[in-house]
Amino acid sequence: MIRELVLATRNRHKVIELVALLGDLDIAIRTLDEFPEAPDVVEDGETCEANAVKKARAIAEFTGLPAVADDTGLEVDVLGGRPGVYAARYAGEDATYEDNCRKLLQELTGVPRERRTARFLTVAAIALPSGGIRVAQGTLDGVIAEEASGTLGFGYDPVFFIQELGKTLAQLSADQKNTISHRAKAFAKMREILGAAMVNV
């Protein structure tokens, strides 16, 4: 049975979301703060799945515990799917969230709202120390706003507008976001995988 699970990320914003999404499972959730010597995994895969699997596998091997990781891409239709898997470093290797949002908005200057369609894709992966891997994915459709709005969330949340709600992701509470988001959808599927693994592993 899976009794412990390591979150294979040092992104504190992600840790908070993942604890909220997985915290009520009967599994002890551990973070990389407890494993300061754990390797920094280079996300050099060409897909979100490749990056998620690489991170989960490396941390499972290092800790000897099941590890879960995710990677998220942002696909903007008018940009041919960019920034895609490179979303986190779109404006450069050391780019801040604000840098990435600013570059995206600059690239979309003058593009009308009906052509600013986009989607988030999250792929979650769980790796077992035995080498087993399972993956799940979730998507969220929206449009890129003309300007950033909202102070909640992180990443591209201030510029990702949900037309049905009339708000950006950064204007939603954590509970609201964790009901509809791409990451929430991926981890709802991951919960099912974990539930089965708690019985069968």
Give the residue from 103, 120, 200, 102 showing the smallest Cα distance to 160.
120
Give the residue from 61, 23, 15 showing the smallest Cα distance to 39.
61
Give catalytic status of residue 26 as yes or no. no
Helix axes 182-200, 12-22, angle to 10 degrees: 60
d(CA 182, CA 108): 23
d(CA 49, CA 85): 9
CA dihedral for 79, 84, 86, 90, sign (positive or negative) = positive
List 26, 33, 71, 141, catalytic entry: 71
- Number of CB atoms found within 10 A of residue 145's CB: 20
Strands (E), the chain: 4-7, 28-31, 67-76, 83-84, 117-127, 133-144, 160-162, 167-168
d(CA 140, CA 73): 11
Residues facing residue 158 across a β-bridge: none
Active site residues: 71
